[in-house]
Amino acid sequence: MVTISNLEFSYGSHRVFQNLDLTFDEGKIYGLLGMNGAGKSTLLYLMSGLLFAKDGTVDFNGHNMSRRSPNALADLFIVPEEFDLPAMTFERYIKLNAPFYPNFSRETLDNCLNGFGMTADMNLARLSMGQKKKAFVCFALATNTSLLLMDEPTNGLDIPSKSQFRKVVAECMTDNRTIIISTHQVRDVENLIDHLTIVGSGKMLLDMPVAQICDHLTFGDFKLGQQPDGAIYSQPSALGNAVVCSRTAGDDETPLDIELLFNAVVANPDSVKQAFAAK
């Protein structure tokens, strides 16, 4: 689906990526995580042809994305963190934009809008930022593009809308579609993503399916003073300490705690690598 090879990119003298190799396969929802300034948004912009790599290539289904070929653009959609919708009815917006996407489905759009309690006859100029985001996400899902990139899609959404977001994304997911969600709000996407990609310091810190992570690591809370064997990272929590441990034979599988894993990877990347290599 998307193959990034030997990517090098910088803003002036500030280098963001160096020799980055990465692949995004179809049929998966990726969670793209990283510290502020790590290059998450930049990576999405490079994948959509909005930025050009200094060296290396970004290939999407055989298209070099720096050429912004219309056929490639018709098969991807990006939901940026901040966007601007024109002052018109959503119905008119659909009429002007949907014909660019050959797989656009009006039925999917109406279903998604229904889920959020919205209709297509609304005037975009009168919507709040959160409502605009919901409408835009619905349109993005309805385009049925093979690649859907979302940058902080749950920012500005109210609490019921966040769970609805997970529901509509899961419903619109297909085997030949790839969704990449860049976010800091990991709780909002915790049960949604099935592959985790963490970037930092210009390189890939972790790139692994959730199932494989849970196969190698366990996550849990322990009372103060109780430090289990095989702990590779701990941080204070309401119950005492939240701990990431290497999973050994006989250990039960625990649900993935993305926030804890992220902190472990950023604070102690070598220990996490060793834990994955050990099993």
Task: List CB contacts of 253: < 8 A, sequence separation 6 or more.
Answer: 214, 215, 218, 247
Subset of residues 64 to 93 that bind other proteins, contact rule: CB under 8 A? 68-71, 73-74, 76-78, 80-84, 86, 88, 92
| 147 strand-pairing partners | 76, 178
How far, rounded to the nearest angstrom, does the alpha carbon of residue 64 sit from its chain's CA centroid?
22
* 41 scored as a contact of other proteins (CB under 8 A): yes
* 11 scored as a contact of other proteins (CB under 8 A): yes
* 60 scored as a contact of other proteins (CB under 8 A): no
- Residue 279 near residue 216 (C-beta atoms within 8 A): yes
Strand runs (DSSP E) across 76-177, as ranges? 76-79, 147-151
Which of residues 32 and 232 has its CB atom nearest to other proteins in the complex?
32
* 125 scored as a contact of other proteins (CB under 8 A): no
* 123 scored as a contact of other proteins (CB under 8 A): no
* 164 scored as a contact of other proteins (CB under 8 A): no
Among the residue ranges 63-71, 106-114, 118-126, 218-226, the one whose residues contact other proteins (CB under 8 A): 63-71
* 51 scored as a contact of other proteins (CB under 8 A): yes
- Residue 146 near residue 178 (C-beta atoms within 8 A): yes
* 223 scored as a contact of other proteins (CB under 8 A): no
Q: Residue 239: enclosing H or E segment and its boundaries?
A: none
- Residue 160 near residue 73 (C-beta atoms within 8 A): no
Residues that bind other proteins (CB under 8 A): 11-12, 14, 35-38, 40-42, 45, 48-52, 68-71, 73-74, 76-78, 80-84, 86, 88, 92, 96-97, 99-101
